[in-house]
Amino acid sequence: MATATLPGIEPEIIYPESDGQPMADNTRQFRWIAMIKGNLDAIYHDRPEVFVAGDLLWYPVGGQPAIRRAPDAMVVFGRPKGDRGSYKQWEEGHIAPQVVFEVQSPGNTAEELADKLRFYDTYQVEEYYLYDPDHHVLRGWLRRGHRLKEIPSLHDWSSPRLDIRFVMTPDELYLYRPDGQRFLSFEELDWEYQQERVARARAEQRTKQAEQQAKQEQAARTQAEQRAAQERAARTQAEQQA
């Protein structure tokens, strides 16, 4: 049965908050997505006008809910932080995400990857980075004029927008924050935190021991001075009685 609508009233357009696709197909892909998104959050934690999201549906065109994409991570300059069910560009000052990241899964086809590139090219992404952790391949595109152009080499490449650095070794990809700190996973950050806690505790213990030793030495000096004073007083008294 057809759904009746009142004359002159447009039916509400639904913009789903999920595309029904998993964020990651395997643990390696998920680990990379979580690390990239988490470190971007850390870089911009004190920048209220920078919005960072992961696996959030982006709708660039109002009234066209079929036109959408959920980047593994995206950064939007000029939009406030805050929770969103999706990123509707016409409600966000018509600002498109400037930088997007995708972590390729084994199931991605060449056609799917081409569709992603066309989408980001069409809807004005400035920088697009695609990493395949299974085959250790990093590709990137930078907007030049009206088109995204592939970056010839990404070894020791610095993102113009984010100022993060990409370093490719024969076996691993490393990303570095603007302050030079390497992107770390939660486990690595926790390990560093625990090591720092242990180091601080040991330093505090050494400080307490040094303070205690200094107090003991001061007490010993005071006792020695008191004994010396008592001996002098005894000698003086003996001389006076002689």
- Region at 159 (left for phi over 0; alpha for psi -120 to 50; beta for the rest): beta
pLDDT at 240 over 90: no
Contact, 97 vs 74, CB < 8 A?
A: yes
pLDDT in tens, 88-130: 999 999 999 999 999 999 989 999 999 999 999 999 999 999 9
pLDDT in tens, 202-212: 767 787 787 88
- Top pLDDT among 178 and 200 is at 178
pLDDT at 1 over 90: no
- The pLDDT assigned to 212 comes to 82
Which residue is associated with the tokens 């081409």? 114
Single pTM value for the model: 0.77
- Contacts for 101 with CB less than 8 Å, ≥ 6 apart: 36, 71, 72, 73, 74, 129, 130, 131
pLDDT in tens, 130-187: 999 999 999 999 999 999 999 999 989 999 999 999 999 999 999 999 999 999 987 7
Look up residue 205 and give its DSSP letter.
Answer: H
- Contacts for 206 with CB less than 8 Å, ≥ 6 apart: none
- The pLDDT assigned to 29 comes to 94
Q: In whole angstroms, give the CA distance from residue 230 to residue 79.
A: 79
The pairing of beta strand 173-176 with beta strand 147-150: unpaired
Q: DSSP readout, 126-167?
A: SEEEEEETTTTEEEEEEEETTEEEE-S--TTEE-TTT--EEE
By C-alpha distance, which of 155, 158, 100 is closest to 130?
100
- The pLDDT assigned to 50 comes to 99
Q: In whole angstroms, give the CA distance from residue 13 to residue 66.
A: 11
- The pLDDT assigned to 215 comes to 85
pLDDT in tens, 24-56: 788 999 999 999 999 999 999 999 999 999 999
Which whole number is the average pLDDT over 53-67?
A: 97
Q: In whole angstroms, give the CA distance from residue 192 to residue 188.
A: 6
Q: DSSP readout, 181-202?
A: PBP--HHHHHHHHHHHHHHHHH
Structure confidence at residue 12 as a pLDDT band (50, 70, 90): confident
Fold classification of 27-183 (topology level): tt1808, chain A (3.90.1570)
Q: Which two tokens stand for residue 203?
A: 């330093």
- The pLDDT assigned to 189 comes to 72
- The pLDDT assigned to 236 comes to 80
- The pLDDT assigned to 222 comes to 81
